[in-house]
Amino acid sequence: IKTCILQGRGRRSRRIKEESKMMKFFIFTLLTAYVVCNNPEEGDMIEGDMELDPDQMSAYMEQMEKAGNTFAAIKSNLWLTNGKADTIKYYIDPQISGATNAINQAINDYQRYTCIRFSKQSGRPRGPHIFFTTGSGCSSPVGRGRSGNSIRLARGCWRKGTIIHEIGHSIGLFHEQSRPDRDNYVTIKLHNVVDRARFNFNKMRSDQWDSKGTPYDYDSVMHYGSYFFSKNRQMTIVTKNSRDQSRIGSRSGFSETDKVQINKMYCSGGSGSGGNGGSTCADKDSRCRHWTNYCRSNSYVKTNCRKTCRIC
């Protein structure tokens, strides 16, 4: 009987130890996933997922010293030759072949809604190109790099909207909430932000930002979400109008204003319809001038009063 009791106790002890190990592993896995998803900083990154090359980082640090806490003035290189948009070559690392479908969807949206064109390569090319590869988070350089841009995509980043966002950085876009006029639209709750991540919420000066005449865009694929970098599960970005809160942080795809801004950066015109981006900017309804207060809230007005609403 004693032998059976001792054997039973031994089995329970081993089972408890195994369960304890499993629980520790589970907790470690959760914490690791949290760090990857909520702290994707890798290398020299600004605003969480934007990498800067040494020249850009030097300019950033110089501007930070001159401007205190103001976000740096960094002029990103656009993918242009003689004022015309380049065809952007890209190559997908075989290590992330599982992301191919999402990458293709993102690129298809760029080619459908903007004048930017992409060319898939069978091997990694020389010179400027985009290299989709693995990483511990989601990150991208800002603007065109001399020898190629590595967009790093951990498994949790294999979604169309996230990849559209990262490509956005590579073509020269910063985060929407860095706009100099952001305080008119959102309130940044710095006391809820992880201390070492507060710089992510600095804003640019008006001489450092070119929105191409587009209005502040809650729906932008480049906008942070409500709880980004929160240290206490409280919101870090609060919209001035509570009705707009659910709009920020979208990663489903382009907003209409995203399309217009990209086309103004890379095309002769600013339509969001793709192609050559050169269609005429005009209202489709003669009553648009009476509806200026509805430019942000009414989908009909946003679609049919693009000139009045300054979307094109």
- The CA distance from 109 to 160, in Å, is 9
**Quick one: pLDDT at residue 211?**
83
**Quick one: pLDDT at residue 23?**
44
Q: Please identify which of the residues 41, 166, 176, 256 carries the catalytic annotation.
A: 166
- The CA distance from 144 to 167, in Å, is 11
The β-bridge partners of 149 are: 130
Nearest to 210 by CA among 240, 237, 172: 172
Is 51 a catalytic site residue?
A: no
Tell me whether residue 223 is annotated as binding: no
**Tens-place pLDDT, residues 243-289:** 999 999 988 899 999 999 999 989 865 555 555 444 457 888 878 88
Residue type, position 135, single letter: G
- The CA distance from 65 to 61, in Å, is 6
DSSP 8-state secondary structure symbol assigned to residue 230: B
Sheet of strand 117-120: strand arrangement: 45-46, 50-51, 138-141, 149-153, 130-133, 87-92, 117-120
Q: Which long-range contacts (CB under 8 A, 24 or more apart) does 266-269 make?
A: 266/78, 266/79, 266/80, 266/85, 266/114, 266/115, 266/116, 266/171, 267/85, 267/114, 267/115, 269/312
Tell me whether residue 165 is annotated as binding: yes
Residue type, position 214, single letter: T
Tell me whether residue 175 is annotated as binding: yes
Sign of CA dihedral 64, 192, 32, 248: negative
**Quick one: pLDDT at residue 106?**
97
Using CA atoms of 193, 196, 199, 200 in order, give the dihedral in degrees to the nearest 10: -60
Helices (H), the chain: 2-38, 54-67, 100-113, 160-170, 256-266, 299-304
SS3 sequence, 151-214? EEECHHHCCHHHHHHHHHHHCCCCCHHHCCCHHHCEEECHHHECHHHHHHHCCCCHHHCCCCCC
Tens-digit pLDDT profile for the chain (312 aa)? 545 544 555 555 555 555 544 444 333 333 222 323 333 333 344 445 655 555 545 444 444 444 333 222 234 488 988 888 899 999 999 999 999 999 999 999 999 999 999 999 999 999 999 999 998 888 888 889 888 999 999 998 999 999 999 999 999 888 899 899 999 999 999 999 998 878 778 888 887 777 888 899 999 999 999 999 899 999 999 999 999 999 999 888 999 999 999 999 898 655 555 554 444 578 888 788 888 778 877 777 887 888 888 776
**Quick one: pLDDT at residue 34?**
30
CB-based burial of residue 199 (10 Å sphere; 0-12 exposed, 13-18 middle, 19+ buried)? middle
**Quick one: pLDDT at residue 303?**
79
Nearest to 172 by CA among 46, 42, 89, 74: 74
**Quick one: pLDDT at residue 70?**
28
Give the predicted TM-score (pTM) of the model. 0.67
**Quick one: pLDDT at residue 45?**
46
**Quick one: pLDDT at residue 273?**
54
- The CA distance from 145 to 141, in Å, is 8
**Quick one: pLDDT at residue 212?**
84
Q: Which domains, from first to last, does the chain contain?
A: 50-171 (3.40.390.10), 176-258 (3.40.390.10), 281-311 (no CATH)
